[in-house]
Structure 1
Amino acid sequence: MAVAGFYIPDGNEALRDDIPAVVELIERTARWVHPKTFRRLPVWAPHAARGRPLYDSAWARRYTNTKKATKITAEKFEGNVAALNALVAALGVAAPKPKNWTVCHIWGYDDPSFAQQSSVVQDPRYFSCVANMVWLPTPLKGFTDTLPEIKAMLRVCAFHLYGWACEHPSVAEQSEKVKNGWIPEGYPKTWPRPEQWEILPPGTAPFSEQIEREIAKRKSKMKADLANAAFLHYPKEEVLSVLRFWGIDLD
């Protein structure tokens, strides 16, 4: 029996036949961190993760925000700013920062409705990991967040580019699949794969002296922060745990 009303399919299904065109856009425009940059410094902000409280530079005072309309003051939490700043620095992006680009976590949300929180980006081991991020033109961000086929392609590319797949238990099944050499249908030919792992995707940033200096500066800042006894709310033990996880030596 016919159902009354104007039928509209699931949005992902409406676009599924157009995935190859979307993949071509991502293949052509995505910006990737150089694998050598990742090897030199996997995580660029080990103190940060999605949803964490935000403090001032002295780690003493919580940041707050007061809405003009209601005059209600609320404490601020980390959104994506620390991850974006890490990615831009690791790419060596020239100032002023270009408009209409958005950071995409490769291993992040797996819920297209965003009803569930992502435990991966809430983990400081992965939030500012430069192998877990790609920079995309903002209009493409929705595709990478909601279409599983595209998310899978990004994860396969990241694995063959950096030799890394996310270890978080929440993504263990797909991580194992990726590590076993699975290549999804429609995977771009210009991206690395088992038989051509040395290929760099179009849009891969160079590893430069500027990046070397930025890595040295980041490490120096981490070391100073860990040694600062006056930082009341600095998550020292968690930062040390993240550094141990990745084998990062600050000396």
Structure 2
Amino acid sequence: MKNRFPSRPIDGIEILKDSDQHTTNSDTLPDGLEALRRELSLSDVMGLIERTARWVDPTTFKYLPVWYPEHARRALFYKANWSEPQMNRNRQTGVSIHKSEGNVHANKALTLALGLRAGERPNWSCCHIWGVDDAFYQVSNAVVQDRRFFSCVANMVLLPTPLKAFTDVMTDVKMMLRVCALHLYGWSCDHDVVADIAGQVADWENWDAYPESWPKPGRTTLPLGTAKFSPRIKAAADRRKAAIRKDLTSAGPHYPREEVRKVLDYWNISL
């Protein structure tokens, strides 16, 4: 079929536009989010998240809000019971650098709080609900660099890995996750850098695309995919409490005792 809308290729490239072989010049390529919105509405996206997300039970959050208070994004790793730096050696250059935290212990916390093991969650990703909103990853994320919030299980949700991209770049999606966390756990991040956003979450009134199973004012519900507090989860939490208690007493010189105590005090955690 002859193209009804012929266009001159740029650098020899033409892009298939639809099944009728319409093409569009590469210089008219739309913003990726706009292209997605033409195919999926916000309600469609939230429906996918509602049906697939895995949430920590509020009872689990109350039992142990933060699972690894000694860790935070970019904090340094130590081995031999916190007595020696843990190094990463580049195989090509031979240069060694001090290894730092990415998302390892946030992932561990969420996995345990959901009653899972690492091998039981292939192609699932840990998503922090509260952080500094920056789709280009150019701003330091002070929220997850704070030990109070990095491994906080009310600040995380488990999503199929492809869906995590929505939470990284779509503001409305991030806001509705925060609204859900507020009404599910009775908690909203109080870090100074997100104070304005916390106010918007508290005043949220746009329920058009908000999932039906999620809690909101006047509706106390558990989201689909909530992992009920269980003996397995309690046992994992008890092991973490015992490990923290032991480390405060006997871990090596690099263990951040003062910072850990501040986290425990902030959350009123009794070991």
- TM-score, normalising length from structure 2? 0.86
**Aligned partners of 1:73, 1:159: CA distance in 2, in Å?**
42
Task: Specify the alignment match of 1:53 in structure 2.
Answer: 76
Task: Specify the alignment match of 1:235 in structure 2.
Answer: 256
Partner deviation per Cα, 1:38-97 (whole Å, 9 max, x = no partner) = 011110000110000011141011111112222222211000000000000000015632
Structure 2 unpaired stretches of 5+: 1-24
Task: Specify the alignment match of 2:199 in structure 1.
Answer: 176
CA contact (8 A) 2:123 2:161 kept: yes
**Aligned partners of 2:33, 2:80: CA distance in 1, in Å?**
42
Of 132, 145, 148, which aligns to 2:155?
A: 132
1:191-210 to 2 correspondences below 5 Å: 191-197=214-220, 199-210=221-232
**Quick check: 1:10 aligned with 2:31?**
yes
**Aligned partners of 2:26, 2:228: CA distance in 1, in Å?**
54
Partner deviation per Cα, 1:81-136 (whole Å, 9 max, x = no partner) = 00000000000015632210110000024011111111100000000000000001
Partner-residue secondary structure (3-state), 2:50:
helix
**Quick check: 1:37 aligned with 2:60?**
yes
Of 91, 97, 107, which aligns to 2:130?
A: 107
RMSD: 1.6
| Shift in alpha-carbon separation, 1:57–1:143, aligned structure 2, 3 A | farther
**Aligned partners of 1:101, 1:95: CA distance in 2, in Å?**
10
Divergent runs of 4+, >6 A: none
Partner-residue secondary structure (3-state), 1:104:
strand
CA contact (8 A) 1:38 1:130 kept: yes
1:10 Cα deviation after fit? 2.5
Whose radius of gyration is greater, 1 or 2? 2
Partner-residue secondary structure (3-state), 1:196:
coil
Partner-residue secondary structure (3-state), 1:134:
strand
1:109-124 to 2 correspondences below 5 Å: 109-124=132-147
1:184 Cα deviation after fit? 4.6
Task: Specify the alignment match of 2:185 in structure 1.
Answer: 162
Task: Specify the alignment match of 2:238 in structure 1.
Answer: 216
Structure 1 unpaired stretches of 5+: none
Of 128, 141, 150, which aligns to 2:173?
A: 150
CA contact (8 A) 1:41 1:215 kept: yes
Amino acid at match of 1:79: G
Partner-residue secondary structure (3-state), 1:48:
coil
**Aligned partners of 1:118, 1:179: CA distance in 2, in Å?**
22
Amino acid at match of 1:150: V
- TM-score, normalising length from structure 1? 0.93
**Aligned partners of 1:143, 1:133: CA distance in 2, in Å?**
15
**Aligned partners of 2:80, 2:47: CA distance in 1, in Å?**
42
| Shift in alpha-carbon separation, 1:193–1:62, aligned structure 2, 3 A | same
Count of residue correspondences: 245
1:18-97 to 2 correspondences below 5 Å: 18=40, 19-94=42-117, 96-97=119-120
